[in-house]
Chains A and B, each alone.
Chain A
Amino acid sequence: MWFYEKKLQYPAKVGRANLRMAKYLITQYGGPDGELAASLRYLTQRYTMPTGQAKAILTDIGTEELAHLEIIATLVYKLMDRSTVGEIEAAGLGAYYADHDKALYYVNGESVPWTAAYIQSKGDPVADLHEDMAAEEKARATYEWLINLSDDPDLNDTLKFLRQREIVHFQRFGETLQLVQEHLDSKRVY
């Protein structure tokens, strides 16, 4: 089970309202390599992991990704804050506004809604952990490209924190893959 903690994992700041960046950043909310996909992928793959260690890391990283989802939501919320309908339309977000006003919705930068087809849960721990490592690298690259698109130092500070977390998660999944492989090899001896 889960309880909510009424705080963010990291102080999510933006220097100024910026609809252009809001439009790009929403992909880390509901896009293919975003935080929702990451969290739901790990939290559903954990049930069929072979070791307590692998179950733990998927539970813990899946939970941390929910905290990242909240950070992205906070950033998008702040980037859109106080903007007028005219500004929203000029930034190419008129269609988004028609469906959602300034509410947060799970879409990518082109307003394609989130789908479970973004993720897999194969039941084979080696296949699943390879997917997880790739997912972390894709999320890291997305943060990289978002930082390239942004000239707001406050926003970039939070994006760099999130990028760094993907690197740590990749490392932990890599170690888990090795531990799982050792576990599977030890069973094969008999």
Chain B
Amino acid sequence: MNREQVAALKELMAQEFTALEFHLYLDTHPTDQRALMEYNEACRQLMVLKQRYQQCFGPLTFCESSGYPWQWIEEPWPWQISY
């Protein structure tokens, strides 16, 4: 995996982590409107990053469209990557 792809992947990982933190926080603070707004915004930004990443490097999860041939089986898998 080249440097550009690792950098894009790490950016996406960081953004997803931000969204996850808000998600868990909202589970116990469901009426915190500011956190909810920040969660929605974090998810929106994550969608953009994921769309861009998958267009360049193939599907990250179920039901993301694939180029030919079927890209899901391409290596490296996450534990094989030097971050």
Q: Hey, which bits of chain A sit against chain B, CB under 8 A? A: 3-13, 53, 56-57, 60-61, 64, 70, 73-74, 77-78, 168, 172, 175-176, 179
Contacts and interface: CB of A to CB of B under 8 A. Distances in A.
Given A7-B13, A8-B78, A74-B79, A172 B62 contact: no
A179 B17 CA distance: 25
Contacts of B77: 6
Interface residues of B, number: 25
A6 B78 contact: yes
Contacts of A168: 21, 24
27 contacts: A4-B62, A5-B60, A6-B77, A6-B78, A7-B13, A7-B60, A7-B78, A8-B13, A9-B13, A11-B10, A11-B83, A12-B83, A13-B82, A53-B30, A57-B27, A64-B20, A70-B78, A70-B79, A73-B79, A74-B79, A77-B79, A168-B21, A172-B25, A172-B28, A175-B29, A176-B27, A179-B28
Contact of B28 (A7, A53, A70, A73): A53
B61 interface: yes
A180 to B, nearest CB: 11
Contact of A3 (B9, B62, B83): B62
A20 to B, nearest CB: 20
B28 A4 contact: no
Interface string B2-21: 00000001101100110011
A13 B60 contact: no
A56 B83 contact: no
B9 A7 contact: yes
Interface in B51-81: 59-62, 72, 77-79
A6 B17 contact: no
Contacts of A9: 13, 16-17, 20
A61 B79 contact: no
A26 to B, nearest CB: 15
A10 B9 CA distance: 10
A11 B62 contact: no
A175 to B, nearest CB: 4
Contacts of B28: 53, 57, 172, 175-176, 179
Nearest to B76: A6
Contacts of A11: 10, 13, 83
Interface in B33-52: none
Nearest to B62: A3
A10 B79 contact: no
B78 A10 contact: no
